[in-house]
Protein backbone atom coordinates (compact mmCIF):
# COMPACT_ATOMS: atom_id res chain seq x y z
CA UNK A 1 0.00 0.00 0.00
CA UNK A 2 0.97 3.65 -0.21
CA UNK A 3 3.38 4.98 2.36
CA UNK A 4 3.49 8.38 4.01
CA UNK A 5 3.64 11.17 1.46
CA UNK A 6 4.64 14.79 1.88
CA UNK A 7 4.39 17.85 -0.31
CA UNK A 8 6.09 19.81 -1.58
CA UNK A 9 9.34 17.86 -1.71
CA UNK A 10 11.28 21.11 -1.88
CA UNK A 11 10.29 24.64 -0.93
CA UNK A 12 12.38 27.77 -1.33
CA UNK A 13 10.97 30.89 0.23
CA UNK A 14 12.01 34.35 1.20
CA UNK A 15 12.52 35.39 4.79
CA UNK A 16 9.29 36.70 6.26
CA UNK A 17 6.95 34.66 4.07
CA UNK A 18 4.57 32.00 5.37
CA UNK A 19 4.84 28.38 4.25
CA UNK A 20 2.55 25.40 4.50
CA UNK A 21 3.80 21.83 4.47
CA UNK A 22 1.50 18.88 3.93
CA UNK A 23 1.58 15.30 5.18
CA UNK A 24 -0.59 12.39 4.05
CA UNK A 25 -0.24 9.51 6.53
CA UNK A 26 -0.72 5.84 5.83
CA UNK A 27 -4.43 5.09 5.60
CA UNK A 28 -5.81 3.98 8.96
CA UNK A 29 -2.91 5.33 11.01
CA UNK A 30 -4.31 7.38 13.86
CA UNK A 31 -1.03 8.83 15.14
CA UNK A 32 0.91 11.45 13.18
CA UNK A 33 4.20 13.12 14.05
CA UNK A 34 6.19 16.07 12.73
CA UNK A 35 9.97 16.26 13.10
CA UNK A 36 12.62 18.67 11.92
CA UNK A 37 16.05 17.56 10.76
CA UNK A 38 18.72 20.19 10.26
CA UNK A 39 21.72 19.39 8.05
CA UNK A 40 23.77 16.61 9.59
CA UNK A 41 21.69 16.61 12.74
CA UNK A 42 19.26 14.28 14.45
CA UNK A 43 15.50 14.41 14.37
CA UNK A 44 13.89 17.07 16.52
CA UNK A 45 10.33 16.33 17.67
CA UNK A 46 7.86 19.11 16.88
CA UNK A 47 4.30 17.88 17.49
CA UNK A 48 2.23 14.72 17.74
CA UNK A 49 -1.40 14.10 16.78
CA UNK A 50 -3.69 11.33 17.96
CA UNK A 51 -6.65 11.60 15.65
CA UNK A 52 -7.32 15.31 15.23
CA UNK A 53 -6.06 16.37 18.64
CA UNK A 54 -2.50 17.26 19.55
CA UNK A 55 -1.68 15.91 23.04
CA UNK A 56 1.92 17.03 22.74
CA UNK A 57 2.96 20.31 21.12
CA UNK A 58 6.02 20.68 23.29
CA UNK A 59 8.51 20.63 20.43
CA UNK A 60 7.18 23.58 18.44
CA UNK A 61 10.10 26.06 18.49
CA UNK A 62 8.02 29.25 18.62
CA UNK A 63 4.53 30.61 18.12
CA UNK A 64 5.36 31.04 14.43
CA UNK A 65 4.89 27.28 14.11
CA UNK A 66 1.46 25.67 14.12
CA UNK A 67 -0.03 22.45 12.87
CA UNK A 68 -3.44 21.02 12.35
CA UNK A 69 -4.97 17.74 11.34
CA UNK A 70 -8.44 17.34 9.96
CA UNK A 71 -10.54 14.25 9.39
CA UNK A 72 -7.97 12.20 11.25
CA UNK A 73 -5.88 12.09 8.12
CA UNK A 74 -3.99 14.90 6.36
CA UNK A 75 -1.92 17.28 8.45
CA UNK A 76 -0.44 20.66 7.62
CA UNK A 77 2.47 22.34 9.34
CA UNK A 78 2.47 26.10 8.95
CA UNK A 79 5.44 28.34 9.57
CA UNK A 80 4.67 32.04 9.65
CA UNK A 81 7.19 34.80 9.00
CA UNK A 82 9.90 32.31 8.11
CA UNK A 83 13.45 32.90 9.31
CA UNK A 84 16.71 31.54 7.91
CA UNK A 85 17.10 29.25 10.93
CA UNK A 86 13.88 27.50 9.88
CA UNK A 87 15.77 25.98 6.94
CA UNK A 88 15.73 22.21 7.43
CA UNK A 89 14.08 19.01 6.26
CA UNK A 90 10.64 18.60 7.81
CA UNK A 91 9.71 14.96 8.23
CA UNK A 92 6.30 13.53 8.93
CA UNK A 93 5.67 10.06 10.32
CA UNK A 94 2.58 8.03 11.10
CA UNK A 95 1.86 4.97 13.19
CA UNK A 96 -1.11 2.85 14.14
CA UNK A 97 -1.24 4.70 17.44
CA UNK A 98 -2.26 3.60 20.90
CA UNK A 99 -0.02 2.22 23.61
CA UNK A 100 2.91 -0.01 22.95
CA UNK A 101 5.84 0.21 20.59
CA UNK A 102 4.19 0.87 17.26
CA UNK A 103 6.57 1.57 14.42
CA UNK A 104 6.63 5.08 13.02
CA UNK A 105 6.76 5.18 9.22
CA UNK A 106 8.43 8.26 7.81
CA UNK A 107 7.60 10.28 4.74
CA UNK A 108 10.28 11.52 2.31
CA UNK A 109 10.37 14.95 3.92
CA UNK A 110 10.05 18.53 2.70
CA UNK A 111 13.32 20.38 2.29
CA UNK A 112 12.67 24.00 3.27
CA UNK A 113 15.16 26.69 2.33
CA UNK A 114 14.63 30.21 3.62
CA UNK A 115 16.66 32.80 1.74
Closest CA to 109 of 89, 79, 95: 89
- In contact, 97 and 29? CB cutoff 8 Å: yes
Least separation, in Å, of the C-beta of 22 and another protein?
16
Question: 15 vs 62, which CB is nearer to another protein?
Answer: 62
One of 91, 94, 110, 112 touching another protein (CB under 8 A): 91
Least separation, in Å, of the C-beta of 9 and another protein?
11
- Give the number of residues in contact with another protein, rule: CB under 8 A: 24
28 forms bridges with which residues in the sheet? none
83-94 burial: b if 16+ Cβ within 10 Å, else e: eeebbbbbbbbb
Interacting residues toward another protein by CB under 8 A: 31, 33, 35, 41-45, 48, 50, 55-56, 58, 91, 97, 100-101, 103-109
Amino acid sequence: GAGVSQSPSNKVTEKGKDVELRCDPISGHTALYWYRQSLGQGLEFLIYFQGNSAPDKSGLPSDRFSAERTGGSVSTLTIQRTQQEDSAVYLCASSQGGTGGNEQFFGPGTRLTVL
